[in-house]
A and B are shown apart, each in its own frame.
Chain A
């Protein structure tokens, strides 16, 4: 079943190059994820991991819209969310590899990280009620709780319980939906009746859908809405129509090649490489080499130590 929409003509060309700082972060996340897949193939990583290839621009776009005192809740596909929040790639990789300097002593691994108001956990939809509880304590402070979920997460009842409470109690909750059209292997069209907008509307929750993959456009669209979340203390569902370029975890992509190629047409990486070779090529090389150094350094570290209570 075809799940990926063709790229609209207007999106094939970026209006202007992203700021170097944004491009650097996009590239850091891209090379971090590619490096994880490479380390897996080399047998250097255990367990599982979920990469955000193609979706990196979402947390990068949100980065300046979030404040230091906001809380961020992430999910199984959270490396990009983390790196856009905290510039600590060494600690993140050490956590994923179970090495010294790990953010959570290697106990949590790829999908269970709690570090400086960033918390990820691996059960779909579980974080939303928790985010409502945290947001209750933030009411009136100007800070918010931001929770990333996917399109598949909308199958969980906890999403609706939480949205209901968030709107009833007017809490500053920003729900970021990364709607990549596929839940593990199941197309969204085969697992979601209706759509996200109507579901948000049913709870009288503000909803905004974005198709742009340009960080500046996204920020311009979203900034006034995020200000409403902070100022009025009410939840917002910000839905990103996005595309997962890689497998759900590793090597488990059952989409036909033409389908994956269509997802690839939306990729910011290819677009920027083509349109802005300067500074893209230089920054791309720098970030790739940086991640290679991080991987070499972290791989050489001794195992993490868990000091249990």
Chain B
């Protein structure tokens, strides 16, 4: 069994070994600490100066990564908590993303900014956010998210091949979960990967009652809801988990679903889900029977106390309840 954090760590080892142009930068990423979530463990011991623990300067360290990329190298930057990506907004949006096109020709900026995101760990308002929505729609900036289905090494290769800065969100709870393999999720659900999208399905069900669309960090809460919906409500659901959140890849099979619902951990208003729905409406207009459902965290800061945090963030019970209500 491989945990997601171990899988990411191995992917970074492989990446740095295979390509001497790759640098890793971030706060506390060097050994023996190996990063706040241990995802960079062992890298500085093996790769020396190509791995740098930096001062607490998210803006500049993102800019340094962009400079390395501009000069022909490749950079993986770690922002310790995704909330702090706000400190790097200028470098990401005004420099790295714009520079890929504002000089009148494609300028490659192979830069991956890793952002441990999400709550349910009791870290409180400034260490728990899923800020994906703030970076959607920036020309030249792509958003990816780690999932328990996708090979991280392939994702790093894809992101670097784009030649554009990419934010790579990694849900902090996901770190502790295992990677799925062999097409099997559990006793009920199977999965397949197609076109960069993981499709989780029930064997033999071709016309699901509901297809959920979620980002990687929402996978397990969506699965828990799907299990309850099947066993207790007799509703069969599929789940689509794209690794690339923006621009969104084509999502398979939605025409056959009775209902489509996007689930995310970002706060309500101006959400990723609304963007997904905007893209899907023209395609699904003739087959949709009801509006695409949007489930997101409350319009609220994320409290520290566990009982308060649970109320704000999306939990399986809320997904189940919302879908039952939509289909009743």
Using a CB–CB distance below 8 Å, which chain A residues touch chain B? 71, 102-108, 112-115, 119, 121, 123, 126-138, 157-158, 161-162, 164-165, 168-169, 304, 306-309
Q: Assuming A127-B95, A165-B61, what are 5 further A-B pairs, CB within 8 angstroms?
A: A121-B95, A128-B63, A129-B61, A129-B91, A158-B63
Are A107 and B104 in touch, CB under 8 angstroms? yes
What chain A residues lie within 8 Å of B94 (beta carbons)? 121, 123, 126
Selected contact of B102 from candidates A103, A107, A115, A133, CB within 8 Å: A107
What chain A residues lie within 8 Å of B99 (beta carbons)? 114, 121
Are A133 and B65 in touch, CB under 8 angstroms? yes
| Bound CA span A169–B104, Å | 33
Are B102 and A165 in touch, CB under 8 angstroms? no
Q: Which of the segments B67-75, B189-197, B236-244, B289-297 contacts the partner chain?
A: B67-75
Are A126 and B104 in touch, CB under 8 angstroms? no
Are A105 and B68 in touch, CB under 8 angstroms? no
Are A165 and B67 in touch, CB under 8 angstroms? no
| Bound CA span A309–B52, Å | 34
Residue of A104, A106, A306 ringed by the most chain B CB atoms within 10 A: A104
Are A114 and B65 in touch, CB under 8 angstroms? no
Residue-by-residue, is B56-70 near A (CB-CB < 8 Å gives 1, otherwise 0)?
010111111111111
Are B64 and A129 in touch, CB under 8 angstroms? yes
Interface residues of B in 71-88 (CB under 8 A from A): 71-73, 75
Are B64 and A130 in touch, CB under 8 angstroms? yes
Are B55 and A164 in touch, CB under 8 angstroms? yes
Using a CB–CB distance below 8 Å, which chain B residues touch chain A? 23, 52, 54-55, 57, 59-73, 75, 90-91, 94-95, 99, 101-107
Are A137 and B90 in touch, CB under 8 angstroms? no
If A114-B99, A129-B61 touch, whether A161 touches B55 (CB-CB below 8 Å) is: yes
Which residue on chain B has the smallest CB distance to residue A133?
B67
If A164-B55, A308-B101 touch, whether A136 touches B67 (CB-CB below 8 Å) is: yes
If A114-B99, A134-B71 touch, whether A129 touches B62 (CB-CB below 8 Å) is: yes
The 10 nearest A-B residue pairs measured at CB: A133-B67, A129-B63, A105-B104, A161-B60, A104-B104, A161-B57, A114-B103, A129-B60, A133-B64, A130-B67
Selected contact of A132 from candidates B64, B73, B90, CB within 8 Å: B64
What chain A residues lie within 8 Å of B63 (beta carbons)? 126, 128-130, 132-133, 158, 162
Which residue on chain B has the smallest CB distance to residue A124?
B90
Are B103 and A113 in touch, CB under 8 angstroms? yes
| Bound CA span A95–B36, Å | 46
| Bound CA span A203–B75, Å | 26
What chain B residues lie within 8 Å of A103 (beta carbons)? 104
What chain B residues lie within 8 Å of A121 (beta carbons)? 94-95, 99
CB distance from B164 to the nearest CB of A (A): 10
Are A137 and B72 in touch, CB under 8 angstroms? yes
Are A133 and B101 in touch, CB under 8 angstroms? no
Are A104 and B105 in touch, CB under 8 angstroms? yes
What chain A residues lie within 8 Å of B60 (beta carbons)? 128-129, 132, 158, 161-162, 164-165
| Bound CA span A210–B71, Å | 31
Residue of B52, B54, B62, B70 ringed by the most chain A CB atoms within 10 A: B70
| Bound CA span A85–B91, Å | 25
If A130-B67, A136-B67, A137-B72 touch, whether A106 touches B61 (CB-CB below 8 Å) is: no
Are B68 and A108 in touch, CB under 8 angstroms? no
| Bound CA span A107–B103, Å | 6
If A129-B60, A129-B62, A168-B55 touch, whether A137 touches B105 (CB-CB below 8 Å) is: no
Are B59 and A130 in touch, CB under 8 angstroms? no
Are B68 and A133 in touch, CB under 8 angstroms? yes
CB distance from B59 to the nearest CB of A (A): 6
| Bound CA span A123–B97, Å | 14
Which residue on chain A has the smallest CB distance to residue B100?
A309
What chain B residues lie within 8 Å of A306 (beta carbons)? 104
| Bound CA span A161–B60, Å | 6
Are B67 and A107 in touch, CB under 8 angstroms? no
CB distance from A90 to the nearest CB of B (A): 16
What chain B residues lie within 8 Å of A134 (beta carbons)? 67-68, 70-71
Which residue on chain B has the smallest CB distance to residue A114?
B103
If A133-B70, A165-B57 touch, whether A108 touches B64 (CB-CB below 8 Å) is: no
Selected contact of B95 from candidates A126, A137, A165, CB within 8 Å: A126
What chain B residues lie within 8 Å of A158 (beta carbons)? 59-60, 63, 90-91
CB distance from B110 to the nearest CB of A (A): 12
25 sample A-B contacts, Cβ–Cβ < 8 Å, listed by A number: A102-B104, A103-B104, A107-B102, A108-B102, A108-B104, A113-B103, A114-B107, A126-B94, A128-B60, A129-B60, A129-B62, A129-B91, A130-B66, A130-B67, A130-B91, A132-B60, A133-B67, A134-B67, A136-B68, A137-B67, A158-B60, A158-B90, A161-B55, A161-B59, A309-B101
